[in-house]
Chains A and B, each alone.
Chain A
Amino acid sequence: MLETALKGSKKYWILIGVLFGLHGIGVTAFLYQLNKGLTVTGMSRDVSWGLYIAQFTFLVGVAASAVMVVLPYYLHNVKEFGKITILGEFLAVAAVNMCLMFILVDLGKPMRMLNVILHPTPNSILFWDMVVLNGYLFLNIIIGWVVLSAERKQVEPPKWVKPLIYLSIPWAVSIHTVTAFLYAGLPGRHFWLTAIMAARFLASAFAAGPALLILLCLIVRRVSKFDPGKEAIQKVANIVIYALIISIFFVLLEIFTAFYSQIPGHMHGFVYTFVGLNGYGNLVPWTWASAVMAVVATLMLLCPPLRKNETTLAISCLLVFFSLWIEKGITLVITGFIPNPFDTITEYVPTLPEVAITVGIWATGFLILTILYKIAVSVKEEIAS
């Protein structure tokens, strides 16, 4: 099947070329970082995780969200999703790849990465995160590839993948739960120390991931003869709106607990992101942008004509995606470090090399995604003709 990725239109090759170019910029910036150390980033003693770990956190959610098309199709027999499960699975593969790259560039000693395996440490959540992420990657590669190959030959997929598919459902939930546990179990980081963190992560993931999937389906329909189906897209849109509302609800729960209890440690993080604390407020515009986008998207998606119209649906999905990207890919991680253990504030602003590496990894992820989608779409077109 791989050969299908090598035959494409001019536009396809231009896209590949652009993504490859951005990948190259990222690699160059990474080599610079390797040489100088993480000093080239905006992180500091106080804000010791930044853009990289935040992107990782967001993308774990995107990866997990594949379950939102796999589960209805295999457990509830929602036929419309049959055509797009492969798109969900390949999106997961690309997203997990990005996650692993973001972890790698964040390490101070990336060449010692294997120490996590050489000295397995079950009490560390990071160890488990590595286990579940790699497991999820392999599950999705195997399932996606085997099912697609069978489809191409127009035969039933072999029986042995079924258990793997069922396994991938709780596994998807596990990757995001474990990622939330990275944060939710740390004493003294009040902004993260909340039992609802994993639930919040899952809710926002099941909104952002499927929103991206809708956008990808719309693009696929434009550039190829493969149509994921109007029905399927509408069903995914229903998932997005439910998940988005639950996600907003969870954030409001946090805000209630913090501000009704009036415990300073619980309030500080929210005060910092929404209005600024002690004169520091780098994240304020981002937080409001995210909040406004979430509210507008909710209203748009709740309104049936706007949801049914695919142009307005696409706009809503963009809003959902960027709103939640800001929430998890920027504010949630950074605010956890503010204020620091001494009740003082050091702010964080990413640097140019840091942004270049981040863009490079996103481009690499989309490069993988483009190639995988090209293969999937080619197979679908082949069958249709």
Chain B
Amino acid sequence: MPQRADAAALSYRDCVSAKIKCLRYYRQQKKRVSRDRVSLLFMGDNDMISQLTSTERQYALVILVLMSLCGLVMAAGGRGDPLGVHGFVVLAFSVGLAFVLISGFYAPQPDPEQQTQYYDDPTKVGIALTMAWAVFGMFFGVWVASLLAWPDLTFDQAWSSFGRMRPVHTTGVIFGFGGNALIATSFHVLQRTSRARLSDQLSPWFVLFGFNLFCVLAVSGYFMGITQSKEYAEPEWYADIWLVIVWIVYFAIYLRTLARRKEPHIYVANWYYMAFILVVAVLHIVNNLAVPISFGSAKSYSLFSGVQDAMTQWWYGHNAVAFFLTAGFLGMMYYYLPKHAGRPIYSYRLSIISFWGITFFYMWAGSHHLHYTALPQWVQTLGMSFSAMLLVPSWASAGNALATLNGAWHKVRDDATLRFMMVAAVFYGIATFEGSFMAMRPVNALSHYTDWTVGHVHAGTLGWNSMIVFGAFYALVPWLWKRESMYSPKLVEVHFWLALAGAVVYVFAMWNSGIIQGLMWRTYTENGVLAYSFLDSVEAMHPYYIARAFGGLLFLTGTIICSYNIWMTVRAGKALATDNDAEGDIPVFARNAVQAGE
């Protein structure tokens, strides 16, 4: 039992009976707060290392040595091939981390008392990495958007060509920004809803840094021209294998921590996080099956070809949307929204329907990306039908979120953090309605291949994914670093309006351009010939591409402000006068929502 963290054990009220213990705890907290200020600067500084036991430090070193060796083997085996460059990247990454580790290797052992607290260091670093990737990925988004308006806004260099930078953008935001946000919040949510400390201290770091190594390999690879060309699965075989290893450890953390939980029930947020981890693993492994041309080369050829490959890729692609960009983020929403609003989830029954509906229906829907193609019609029809049904569980979750806010609208009005979450739920509703609509064959005949798809995607990613992350972070950062509030609530407000304006400008620009494009391609003159050349449609896009780049710039500006605000909250935010763990660090559901359940 003493091994288990229990939020209540940290409260001052409990300490009254044991004053000495309490004082020690208080001092320790104060020290931690000041040390935490530096923690964001150095991803694994001494402070964080001193939380590791000496056994964990030794294991960490062994892992880093093994990884360095892997890097060396890749560098040697891949001489004259981009794989060799990646060998050096792996080597530098591992040696860099090893240096940080060694610098704190002989720091004093951690206080065994820490076992009674939650372990949030990986979440903190994860937040920093999330924001770094957000700025990076969105910067490249604005750049590639500008290239479509002004194609010569580039260097005459292969790395800076549109085709190579586009996946830098998509991977940077989906995996770098979205993935880090998922990992960071999942560790936090998992502990709070289980009321148990993470199963150990080393594996969360392995997952976090391992995942970021994957992202670095992916992005640096595109610049060099390494890609499988599979949408949202561009990284080559060795990076894919590495991600599988990271993912297994991630799942193990979930299983082992859940095994220690003090709550009898697994909270709904964790169902979603688990579906995210599990199904992404299945999708990733199947979609990436490939044969490398040699073990000394980055290049591989997909096991599948043609129509089977198309179906596999979109089974993956659509469900990357479903389980990476939807399930995981719903997990985030199902925790931070009720928590921050201080209200129980509106309906337990709806969350069950929504969860199983999404898990089942989504996996059938991928073929809506292949309407009117050489894919057999029966598969297209299945994809269309299930996409229509998908609206039910999707709106069940969106509705559940909004109904949870019902009665707290004054809070939504006054609190930009909650407004971020509210707008996220609304955009989620819009994007899923639009998605089901676009999946209908006649609609898809118009929308497919056009910017409408891009508009739809960004209603999802800007309006839903980003907004829920920002909302969650604005709730989480003061909580984790024990601050009274964000450094500047005003800047949160500014960010909210920039993000909303940016998303709306972006989405409207792409709806317009997409529909115009689609109509121009199919318009006939009275004489029965096509009215417009393809180039006519390219020219017609120009103003919308400018508008889109502008919308993206607004959104990026908001993200930079958010990073600054988080940074300043950690560095200079007003520390909380009293510890709020007793009240605050127990999830709302534990008190009423689920128990109260129907």
Q: Do A and B bind each other?
A: no
B-side residues, CB < 8 A to A, are none
